[in-house]
Structure 1
Amino acid sequence: MNTFLSDNLKQLGKLFFILAILIAGQAEAQQLKRKATLGLRTSILPDSLARVHQLKSGIVVTRVSSHSTAEVLGIKQGDIILSVNKQAVQAPADVASINQLLTPGQTITLQLLRDGKKKSLKGKVVAKPLETAESTNVVYDQVDFRNGQLRTITYTPKAAGNHPAILFIPGFPCQSIDDYGTSPYNQLIKGWSDLGYVVMLVEKPGLGDNVNTPSCFDIDLSTEIEAFEQGLLKLKQLPQVNPENVFIFGHSMGGIVAPILSQKHSLNGVMVYGSPYRPWFEFATEMFRFQAPATGKDYVAHEETMRQLHHVMYRFFVLGQHPDTIAAADPAYKKILQEEFQHMGGDIFWSRDYRYWQEIDELNLTKAWAETDEHVLSIWGEYDFEIVNAEDHKRIVEVVNHYHPGHATFLTMPKTNHSLILVPGMAEGVAQMNKRDLAYNKANFNKNLITETDTWMKRVMKK
């Protein structure tokens, strides 16, 4: 080899080496960093509490996560948080925005109301703990989403080989996948992983460790579907996954996302639990009519409320009006929006952007299920307070089997509520839901759901 060629090859080799270092450094820089969080679940301050305590803003703490900043600070369920770092809070979306700015070790101060007395708390922000599992590997990764990245958490069997896989899609709340704790969600996911399934969770935009993604409270349904779609594509490409045996499990509103994804992507099966089939206007009307008397509201008084609800929902779902426009039309409508939809002005409606709900109502779920040629397991809990009867789940099965005979199966989970928890009856389930008793929820998760879904998946798997 001549000297000129040799020298140039050496220079080229050095160039490739430098490029490799730069690329490796860039890949490392793109790894999502672990963020901190308050570790709270909150709800909008009811007008009744605001009047009693003469408050103009605030949010009610409904849950404090273990090993979280909130727990270290001594925040308790039922506290009313007034401000964080001197920033007033009036909606759960405010907490999500604050979480995105927190870093471990940062000093944080909160003003809150407890038992009618104002209290100040101050301490250090703690890092979020990493999820662990005895029998499986828990992998923290990410997937590209538009101009940012979404956190994924994947439970992978330690045994070598290609495994069946499940994409888990939760309900509508803007709740981080880092906050499942010992909840029924966590028990279901770990139950599947213990049986040899790869299970992936995808963080909704604007939550958790995500970077440069829009707020969960600002996005519409299409954006959320796109986020889960990116997770599904990544799941199917994992080396531990058998792409011929990939399933989706959609809980509650996640069961609306599931058939939309199945229309576009080849799957083995789709499982839905506690998910509506009808247009949301139609479904919500029945839900409102059933729920209020079940919680003790007078039938005649509730009928008056229903008449107002009809007007509000017609304007919202059919005419596509903004909630503020509806509220301005009639004081009675404004009252309904506040009490039934937690709308206090602006774009937030039922704790999500109003367009999210309008888009759900516009979906043609009959068409989506008719075009789902995968196997389908439609699961209804006997004491589901949200899906008040089995008809929606039975209709999913009827539609799928009409167009794809023998593909769909209906399953009832006896004595099980919307949250996958065993309860003695509907009334007891409602009371338990209002108590927010985490210890009860942990102890009474219906483990038969793991067994039933595993049996069904094994039956329809490609060998």
Structure 2
Amino acid sequence: MLRFFALMLVSCLTYALPAEAKELARRPFLGIAMKTVESKETSGGPAVRVDHVIENSSASDADLRSGDMVVSVDGKEISSQEDVIAAIKPKREGDVLKISLLRDGHPISKDVPLIGLPLEKSSDFETIYEAVVVDGTKRRTITTRPREATRFPAVLFVGGIGCYSMESPLDDQEVYRQLLSSLTRQGFVTMRVEKSGMGDSEGPPCATIDLDAEKRGYIGGLNELKSKPYVDPDRVFIVGHSIGGIVGPLVAAQAPVRAIVAMETVGTTWFEYELINRRRQLKLAGTAPEALGRQMQVKQWCMHRLLIERDAREDIVQLRPECKEEMQIPTADVYLQQIAALDLPALWAKLKIDTLLIYGSADYLTSAEEHLAIAEVVNAERPNSATFIEISDLDHYMTRVESQRESFDRRRSERPAAYHDGLGTTIGRWLKDRPG
């Protein structure tokens, strides 16, 4: 698969970063698509070929060309796309990358000054890049706001599990960006907080941090959001997607909000969720009925060792190699173990705030029952404060598909679907009904 580093022109941006954000250097815009190939030019082993160079990027400015074979970066030998990514990751705008290439069999050395990645922008609203200090390090925040000079209700968005950037400057069709753009056009300020070490953010690598550290990042962002002069502090909400439907209420328990939205999430215990979800996906994958029991026994053993006994994944795989497939969850062991230790019903019961639960029936990763379990406990504590909405053609990835089968097959074949534009409207209408 080609790995793209950029698809937009930096020169089209005309607005400036605020002073505090300027202190948080921008991640670089290399501007190449590349592929790992077998090459006789590099001793017959794997090599990285430049397949495409984006105009007005760092690579194009340095005259990198399609067909160039990358031999080394900053003196380190390159044999895969991952090697190139690792070399670029610690760099920031203004740094220089030293690249050794083979072009038509001839060695070439290039000093590549790195320009910054483009910023998100919209003609409909303002996009503001700032930073908040968390655990002594700066985390990038991306805020969108209507242009009018007044105070608006605001949403802190908490995304799903894993390590990825929360901004999409190169793709205005990315689902998180489309959801938040929809809410901004409906009159809401929105904020995203980059995870530790992701995007422009400082801090330890995201893959190493625990749940408490991630939560502190969102609390820092939420407090900053409430302090904005263009935000109505009495109408600040949290919208959480997937694992964000667990992290969101943890944040709200320490930094109160007017109401909370949780969608495509988990409302029971994480251990039982892992088992139910695995069985559902095995069936969708066409696993023979007689093989289901055996596979579920493996899943149960592996997850018990990881989540209940709190063994390290590498130790578990040493004991039973088949556990590797069962534990491919993109986060630190301790993060998962902290999630598994949560009493989620008790967490929701303590909040006592208006709650919207959204489930898409095409979502094969969660279930309506998970969301109804949250609604039940919330309404038991505060009658009629939880609302459950099921959207028939919505899947876990916030796209419009007809069924769990279609979503599952699309994911396996890497065929994306279009964002479900009714989702933002549904959330916006419900939030507008929550007065200050």
Q: TM-score, normalised by structure 1?
A: 0.76
1:358 aligns with 2:337: yes
Q: 1:162 to 1:82 in 2, by over 3 A?
A: farther
Tell me if the contact between 1:184 and 1:420 (Cα under 8 Å) persists in the aligned partners. yes
**Superposition deviation, residue 130 in structure 1:** 0.9
Name the structure 2 match of 1:203: 194
In the alignment, what sits opposite 1:262?
Answer: 252
On the 8 A contact 1:39/1:179 being kept in 2, the answer is: no
Amino acid aligned to 2:237: F
Deviations, residues 68-115 of structure 1 (Å, cap 9, x unaligned): 779997999xxxx9986536689979947842324457346599xxxx
Given that 1:65 and 1:179 are in contact with CA atoms closer than 8 Å, whether structure 2 keeps it comes out as: no
> Within the alignment, does 1:435 sit opposite 2:421 as a pair?
no
1:447 is aligned with what amino acid?
D
Maintained 8 Å contact 2:120/2:168: no
Which position in structure 2 is the counterpart of 1:461? 435
Q: Structure 2: how far apart are the matches of 1:390 and 1:70? A: 48
Which of 307, 324, 336 is the aligned partner of 2:323? Answer: 336
Deviation at 1:65, TM superposition (A): 11
- 2:33 aligned with 1:34, yes or no? no
Q: Give, in whole Å, the separation in 2 of the partners of 1:431 and 1:123.
A: 44
C-alpha distance in 1 between matches for 2:244 and 2:387:
18
Contact kept, 8 Å, 2:360 with 2:396, in 1: the verdict is yes
Shift, 1:299, TM fit: 2.9
* C-alpha distance in 2 between matches for 1:393 and 1:383: 14
Distance 2:382 2:55 in 1: 46
Aligned equivalent of 1:308, options 298, 304, 312: 298
The answer to whether residue 399 in structure 2 is matched with residue 413 in structure 1 is no
CA contact (8 A) 1:38 1:99 kept: no
**Helix, strand or coil at the partner of 1:360:** helix
Aligned to 1:223: 213
Percent of aligned pairs sharing the same letter: 29
2:380 is aligned to: 402
Match of 1:187 among 178, 181, 184: 178
The reply to whether residue 369 of structure 1 matches residue 375 of structure 2 is no
* Residue identity opposite 2:223 in structure 1: L
Q: Is the 8 A contact 1:415 1:424 kept in 2?
A: yes
- In the alignment, the residues of structure 2 paired with residue 404 and residue 82 of structure 1 have an alpha-carbon distance, to the nearest angstrom, of 63
Consecutive unaligned residues in structure 2, runs of 5 or more: 1-18, 37-43, 102-107
Partner Cα separation in structure 2 for residue 204 and residue 310 of structure 1: 30
The superposition leaves residues 34-92 of structure 1 with CA deviations (integer Å, 9 ceiling, x where unpaired) of 221568999xx9xxxxxxxxx99999xxxx9999779997999xxxx998653668997
**1:264 CA displacement:** 1.7
CA distance in 2, matches of 1:432, 1:242: 41
2:422 alignment partner in structure 1: 448
Determine the C-alpha separation between the residues in 2 that align with 1:321 and 1:41. Answer: 39
* 8 Å CA contact retained: 1:36, 1:103: yes
Per-residue CA deviation, residues 262-317 of structure 1 (Å, 9 max, x unaligned), is 21222111001111112211100111111022022333234322211111111111
Q: 1:396 to 1:153 in 2, by over 3 A?
A: same
Whether the 8 Å CA contact 2:198–2:205 is kept in 1: the answer is yes
- Measure the CA separation in 2 of the matches of 1:334 and 1:454: 46
Contact kept? 1:100, 1:207, Cα under 8 Å: no
Shift of 1:168: 0.7
Specify the structure having the higher radius of gyration (Cα): 1
Deviation at 1:218, TM superposition (A): 0.6
Q: Whole-Å Cα distance in 1 between the matches of residues 293 and 71 of structure 2?
A: 36
Q: Which has the higher helix share?
A: 1
Alignment partner, residue 114 of structure 1: none
For residue 145 of structure 1, the aligned residue among 134, 155, 176 is 134
TM-score normalized by structure 2? 0.80
Whether contact under 8 Å (1:140, 1:153) holds in the other structure is yes
| Cα pair 1:262 1:374 within 8 Å, conserved | no
RMSD: 3.6
Q: How far does residue 183 in structure 1 lie from its aligned partner after superposition?
A: 0.9
- The equivalences for 1:14-413 within 5 A come to 31-36=23-28, 86=76, 95=85, 98-103=88-93, 106-107=96-97, 109=99, 124=112, 125-179=114-168, 181=171, 182-211=173-202, 213-329=203-319, 333-337=320-324, 339-342=325-328, 350-387=329-366, 389-413=367-391
Amino acid at match of 1:429: S
Give how far 1:427 is off. Answer: 1.5
How many residues of Structure 1 are paired with residues of Structure 2 in the alignment?
Answer: 392
For the 8 Å contact 2:313–2:327, the answer to whether it is kept is no
Amino acid at match of 1:153: I
